[in-house]
Structure 1
Amino acid sequence: MRLKDRVAIVVGAGQSPGEGMGNGRATALTFAREGAKVLCVDHNLASAQETVEMIGVNQGTAVAFKADVTKGDELEAMVADAHARWGRVDILHNNVGVSLAGGDAELLDITEEAFDRCTAINLKSCIFAAKHVLPIMRAQQSGVIINISSMAVITTYPYVAYKATKSAMVSFTEQLAYQNAQYGIRANVILPGLMNTPMAVDTRARTFKKSRAEVEAERDSKVPLRKKMGTGWDVANAALFLASDEASFITGVTLPVAGGASVRRG
């Protein structure tokens, strides 16, 4: 019960179609298991509700909330709902992100529309969610913000918008950390590596017209540790540590969760 009586907002608590468990859903389940009340936010309300029902099976507390994270007023409403419902906000976990599914491409092929869409989902949402939660956390003199970036930041990655926005998220998290430390607020960013999630694997299988098994095998072969991708639970457990009091002196940190890929730069 490392998060007992705390209130967490998990943005991206549903998941893409496909097999396995996404990072956001795994994190919502983990936070609830550890005692947090969780607002499960997603643009797909049915998917968020599925997460809530999974939490309820284990007697956890959670509510689904529908939001288009590219719209500031909906992010403001999200924060207001959690605060009105439970009286505080202790954790903001920004998990949303899109690359190929948003039309991302290599530089010579990317369109302005795709770039704007990816930027709004990946970066704008993270910034404005933080904007709306900070006044509450500052008043509390406590709070944790966890942003989910990607190992695409420090390794080769061909698609423009995802790499650029996820890199910007790291700098923004560092800014959050040093500008809010005086208020007792911590901000850290996680870089997931090759993960076996619906967004990562099933989206690629559909896009490149391959079987899921082919995509899995190709990605597994690139992971130094045991030649096996991580799962959403690996990201969730890292987020749990950063959200808990065990990480009370950790802020402004970029944490790779990547099976050793972070030591192989470039």
Structure 2
Amino acid sequence: MDGIIDNLQNAIQTWNEKLAEIWLLLTQSPQNFKGGGIWQIIVKIHDALLAIGLALLVLFFVYGVAKSCANLTEIKRPESALKLFIRFAIARGLVVYGMDLMLAVFEIIQGITETIMDTVGIGNVSQTVLPQEIIDAVGDCGFFESIPLWAVTLLGGIFITILSFVMILTVYGRFFKLYMYTAISPIPLSCAAGETTQNISITFMKSYAGVCLEGAIIVLACIIFSSFAASPPVVDPTASAINMLWSYTGELIFNMLVLVGTVKMSDRIVKEMMGL
């Protein structure tokens, strides 16, 4: 009978390990993720695109001047010339120091995420554990009674394992998005030089802030799930082993589906919050 229980316990152990890995990942910065090797590549790509961003900066600036100023006489006015100079200087600063700005935004939002973690305590996050009543009930079953139990634990174990990998892949995907935003940042930030194209830069920074904020949403989702884990599904000791196992596994998978769905929709939740 140990093999029947092992199917479910191994899957639950995998789930707990992935959940703990998520907490670890959400405390890391892009510079330290996977030893920092990926970040070095992103920095090289960013620096290579910096020259293109500066060239586009001039192009968008000239285009913005042509669209906003009706004639050369208007450009010669001191207030108009000062406004254009300030716009160009700010846009150039965004392109040249865009990576520093994005890292500052990440650090601010990361501080929010870490504050949430410190409030509940990382070590206090409850793990999912198979109740002893079910283990004892399965151990008392005969050979023929164990056949449906084996099927339930096998299917439940496969489903839980799939959910755990879907959840961790979503968190890894957030890091990929952070790297992509950072690498390509000189291009959209150069749009700030033109009055008619500045919305592209604003939307880009809002979207980047949204990706950073996804970490806080994922942490909140994990905390809520931990409350479910602290109060596991009620097991009826008078029911048969198959009913106990089926009821527990079904409710457990439902709770896991809620968490995985929330983690998967973290980007959508952030977009709704920020109006993106």
**Same fold judged by TM-score > 0.5?**
no
TM-score (norm: length of structure 2): 0.28
Q: Which has the higher strand share?
A: 1
TM-score (norm: length of structure 1): 0.29
Bigger relative contact order, structure 1 or 2, given CA contacts below 8 A and separation 6+? 2
Q: Which has the higher helix share?
A: 2
